[in-house]
Amino acid sequence: YVYLPLPGTVSDPWKLMLLDATFRAVQQTCHLIHYLRLSHHLIVLNYLICTFDKLKSVSSEDINITDAVFDGVEVRVFEPPAKGGEELKRSVVYIHGGGWALASARTSLYNNLCRIMAESLNAVVVSVEYRLVPEVCFPEQFHDALRATKHFLQPDVLAQYSVDPSRIAISGDSAGGNLAAAVCQQLSKDEHLTIRPKLQALIYPVLQAFDFNTPSYQQNMNMPVLPRYVMINYWIDYFNGNYDLAQSLLINNHTALDVGQALSFRGRLNWTSLLPSSFKKNYKPVIQTTGKAEIIQQIPALLDVRAVPLLAENETLRLQPKTYILTCENDVLRDDGVMYAKRLENAGVEVTLDHFDDCFHGCMIFTIWPTDFSAGIQTRNSYIKWLDENL
């Protein structure tokens, strides 16, 4: 693909282009290995990422870092030191991003983020190590995140970690934001739960696969680090679908007017009414009159709210806790977060939409040299500040 010039508002533009060029070169190598049938390209890519970036479970003087298993799911727990006479701590369950296929709670990027969260908030942070594509596909990532969270919410487990049951947040970025939103929706409907999250905090979350032509998808279709076609391929991988469907998905053939399965969801994702004019700009909706209903038949998960939380019914949205959503202007997923904020607000949920004009997808984890961006520090500080004030 060919890049469009980066907008002048992007912070650290040359560093971003260098990062993306490096990532693309690695991806091309992994796709070559996949083409030669030596291994799946995502397995190779994640192996390279984790080989160069994985940290051992080493406790520091300030934060105790341990690995545990919650109901069969691996987690990494970050605990601030106990202080004499201290009350119970607040806590954050964090779910990392990476297209449901990449990264780890153990990589330095997420290890560093969770350590700083634990220090800044004096909170216990539980980072979920869910299984990845292609080892497993939807709904297993959702099930892993849900099981780990529900295990942690048990009174005896919270007591073990000295956590205040009334001060727990669930959070995640990108695909982790998708899982956090889906898990939060499921927890809100579980009548057997006695403890539920006080807050949810979603960082540039991916929330829908219904419309790949929202204004942000059109505006940022060739934007590093997440071009539109890459996000579509992540969805296909997550659903164990066929790459041959990518072009049809790109032009919204799967949600055309003659696709009966999609009709009941159309009103829940009408960006012409959910987005402010500053985001709609001059973009026009892409709605096909005739499409391919067989796509939904092959991949019914495209309309499964456990995978696409933005399509949840209003009754579910009303049950959601106080919410923080961080979005970036230079991101195909910008409108996913903005539309979810509006739907939650319409349902009566208190929402903070924290939008950054000069930032890009994934920036919050890029705070360590050589991928240290001013956008990363800016977004991370704003996110932690909101948690500190509301948790």
pLDDT digits (tens, 9 = 90+) for 106-150: 988 899 999 999 999 999 999 999 999 999 999 999 999 999 999
Per the CB < 8 A criterion, the answer to whether 160 and 153 are in contact is no
Q: How many CB atoms lie within 10 A of CB 250?
A: 17
Contacting residues for 248 by C-beta, under 8 A, at least 6 apart: 254, 291, 292, 295
Per the CB < 8 A criterion, the answer to whether 299 and 245 are in contact is yes
Q: Please tell me which residue in 11, 127, 171, 174 is annotated as part of the active site.
A: 174
Token readout for 296 is 């939904």
Q: What pLDDT is attached to residue 302?
A: 97
**Domain assignment present for 255:** no
Per the CB < 8 A criterion, the answer to whether 345 and 89 are in contact is no
Binned at pLDDT 50, 70 and 90, residue 225 comes out as confident
Is the Cα torsion angle 168, 90, 364, 144 positive or negative in sign?
Answer: negative
Between 54 and 270, name the one with better pLDDT.
Answer: 270
| pTM of this structure | 0.90
Question: Please, where are the H alpha helices in the chain?
Answer: 13-35, 41-53, 108-121, 140-152, 155-160, 175-188, 215-219, 228-238, 246-250, 260-266, 271-274, 277-280, 293-298, 314-317, 334-346, 374-390
User: What are the φ/ψ torsions at residue 211 (nearest 5 degrees)?
Assistant: -135, 110
User: What are the φ/ψ torsions at residue 171 (nearest 5 degrees)?
Assistant: -150, 160
Q: What pLDDT is attached to residue 1?
A: 34
Binned at pLDDT 50, 70 and 90, residue 87 comes out as confident
Between 228 and 12, name the one with better pLDDT.
Answer: 228
pLDDT digits (tens, 9 = 90+) for 357-379: 988 898 898 887 666 778 889 99
**Domain assignment present for 173:** yes
Q: Work out the widest C-alpha separation in the chain, in whole angstroms.
A: 67
Is 361 assigned a catalytic role?
yes
Is 143 assigned a catalytic role?
no
**Could you give the C-alpha distances from 89 to 65, 322, 348, in angstroms and in order?**
16, 19, 29
Is 254 assigned a catalytic role?
no
Per the CB < 8 A criterion, the answer to whether 109 and 93 are in contact is no
Look up the domain containing 142 and give its range.
60-208+304-389
The CATH code of the domain that includes 175 is: 3.40.50.1820
Chain-wide mean pLDDT for the chain?
A: 89
Number of structural domains (the chain) is: 1
Q: How buried is 146 (Cβ within 10 angstroms: 0-12 exposed, 13-18 middle, 19+ buried)? A: buried
**Domain assignment present for 88:** yes
**Does 196 have pLDDT greater than 60?**
yes
Q: What pLDDT is attached to residue 296?
A: 96
pLDDT digits (tens, 9 = 90+) for 282-305: 999 999 999 999 999 999 999 999
Binned at pLDDT 50, 70 and 90, residue 4 comes out as very low
Question: How, if at all, do strands 73-79 and 124-129 pair?
Answer: antiparallel
**Domain assignment present for 248:** no
**Domain assignment present for 235:** no
Contacting residues for 125 by C-beta, under 8 A, at least 6 apart: 77, 78, 91, 92, 94, 114, 115, 117, 118
Distance CA 170, CA 202 (A): 8
Q: Please tell me which residue in 144, 211, 331, 358 is annotated as part of the active site.
A: 331
Q: What pLDDT is attached to residue 57?
A: 46
Is the Cα torsion angle 330, 139, 342, 195 positive or negative in sign?
Answer: negative
Per the CB < 8 A criterion, the answer to whether 3 and 224 are in contact is yes
**Does 335 have pLDDT greater than 90?**
yes
Between 225 and 329, name the one with better pLDDT.
Answer: 329
Which residues face 200 on adjacent strands?
170, 323
**Domain assignment present for 156:** yes
Binned at pLDDT 50, 70 and 90, residue 5 comes out as very low
Per the CB < 8 A criterion, the answer to whether 354 and 381 are in contact is no
**Domain assignment present for 49:** no
**Does 25 have pLDDT greater than 80?**
no
Q: Poorest-confidence range of 195-199, 253-257, 303-307, 373-377?
A: 373-377
**Domain assignment present for 214:** no
**Does 240 have pLDDT greater than 70?**
yes
